[in-house]
Amino acid sequence: MPAKLRAIISGAGFGGLTAATALARRGWTVTVFERQPEVRAAGSGIYIWENGLRILEAIGANVVRPDTFHGRAMEQRDGQNQVIDAGEFPPDMRLVTVPRKDLLESLKNTAIGAGVDIRTGAEVIGASAAAELHFGGGHTETADLVVGADGIWSAVRRALGLELFHEQTVEGALRAIIPGTQQDLGDNGRDKYIENWNGTRRFLITPLTPTEMYLAFTCPKEDDAGKISPLDKKAWTSSFPHWSHLIERVEDIIPWSPYSTISVKSWSAGRSAIIGDAAHAQPPNLGQGGGMAMQIGLALAVAMEGVTDRRDIPDRLSAWEQRERELVDHCQKWSRMYGEVSFLPDEVRKRAITHTMADPWVRSQITRAARSHPTGT
């Protein structure tokens, strides 16, 4: 019986752990190296659309509980709390929101259950096309396949020479989780996600559990009062007075940071590949950063199914990218375009959202990734 092929993965995030589990379930020996002392996620929420739910079901990760919030609409409102777009979801498209830490914990436990070896406190500083990962102190790990899932500042991407550009946005966000219930959203806000616009500020309200909400405060880097932390509650209340009762509850907050867009010439070199933010980081406007990372991680494992000779891996990686990249590029493009709406004058934005979101073709483009059937599901 031939020996198992080995995969080594840099980064224990959503994409890395999904790829690790799916590879292990297909007979690979898998080791994940994480630079942090433990597998952990920042204190914010994450959107899991229909495509992401299909992926979690396919790998056996159970993060959806009876009290998980299932939204039925993404409602857009202006600074006077008037509805711009109702944003109701079709009945065949699910969306749930959970704390990021809960999703990561579920993926970690699923990977361990599949036999994945996760090693923390191991920072990758380089890689090679010959499926090597390099660590501080001169240590090198060699395998049949390397997967770089090490984020926007990916050492694997840099070492493989794959980057075309890394662009940071003018816009960024502060994020917080607060106590809150559906009653806090009023009779017209139940069972919804609510995105509020006023000038160049955005305020997103995302229920997570029956007792918790995730808030995102988005503004450009020139907005000193908007981006300061601790949160300037007076400044944000002046923009969104109808939500002062939520803004006042913010205690701990993740400081303002911009978003990144990554473009690469290829997702692989030799027997080494990159996934997630390392390969296709995008602004969070479509809620698909984590979804695309998991989707491409699962598809990578499917592409490796049945491989017995490492010499076949480069061709398998090329075919994987050819099959998957168009959707990822589409999602990244539309996420960037959506972000430009922030810089329109209020009345122009209101007309733009009202008319474009009423167009079935536009809506289909925005939700294309969410409605997709990921490879391997």
Residue 197 one-letter amino acid: W
Structure letter (DSSP) for residue 47: E
Tokens of 155: 């050492």
The pLDDT value recorded for residue 42 is 79
Classify residue 17: in a domain, yes or no.
yes
Q: What is the span of the domain harbouring residue 337?
A: 6-168+259-366
Yes or no: say if 198 and 369 are a contact pair by the CB < 8 Å rule: no
Could you tell me the CATH number of the domain that includes residue 281? Answer: 3.50.50.60
Find all residues with CB under 8 Å of 125, minimum gap 6, and list them: 134, 135, 136, 155
278-289 in b/e burial notation, b at 16+ Cβ within 10 A?
bbbbbbbbbbbb
| pLDDT, mean of residues 348-370 | 95
Amino acid sitting at position 259: Y
CA 310, distance to chain mean position in Å, is 30
Answer for the pair 264, 180: CB distance below 8 angstroms, yes or no.
no
From CA 270, how far away is CA 20, in angstroms rounded?
19
Distance CA 285, CA 219 (A): 13
Instruction: Choose among 36, 3, 38, 18: nearest CA to 144.
Output: 3
User: Cα separation of 256 and 227, whole Å?
Assistant: 6
Residues 172, 219: contact at Cβ < 8 Å? Answer: yes
- How confident is the model at residue 8, as a pLDDT? 98
pLDDT surpassing 60 at residue 1: no
Please give the model's pTM, rounded to 2 decimal places. 0.96
pLDDT higher than 60, residue 19? yes
pLDDT confidence of residue 41: 86
Residue 304 belongs to a domain: yes
Q: Report pLDDT for 298.
A: 98
As a whole number, mean pLDDT of residues 2-31 equals: 96
pLDDT in the model for residue 3: 73
Q: Is residue 356 part of a domain?
A: yes
Percentage, residues of the chain above pLDDT 90: 95
What's the pLDDT score for residue 353? 95
Residue-wise pLDDT for 135-186, tens only, equals 998 999 999 999 999 999 999 999 999 999 999 999 999 999 999 999 999 9
| Closest by CA position to 288, among listed 353, 227, 374 | 374
Residue 210 within any structural domain of the chain: no
**Residue at 107 is within a domain:** yes
Give the Cα separation of 17 and 5 in Å (integer).
18
Radius of gyration of the chain from its Cα atoms, rounded to whole angstroms = 21
State how many domains the chain has: 1
Q: What is the pLDDT of residues 277-300, one digit of tens each?
A: 999 999 999 999 999 999 999 999
In a domain, 23, yes or no: yes
Q: Which pLDDT score is estimated for 2? A: 63
pLDDT for the residue numbered 26: 97
CA atoms within 13 A on the CB side of 84: 24
Altogether, the residues listed in the chain come to a count of 377
- Identify whether 212 is part of a domain: no
Tell me the per-residue pLDDT of 213-240, one tens digit each, with 9 for 90 and over.
Answer: 999 999 999 999 999 999 999 999 999 9
C-beta of residue 93 within 8 angstroms of C-beta of residue 47: no
Distance, in Å, from the CA atom of 60 to the CA atom of 334, rounded to the nearest integer, reads 30
Share the mean pLDDT of the chain.
96
Residue 345 lies in a domain: yes
Bridge-based pairing of strands 132-135 and 69-70 is: unpaired
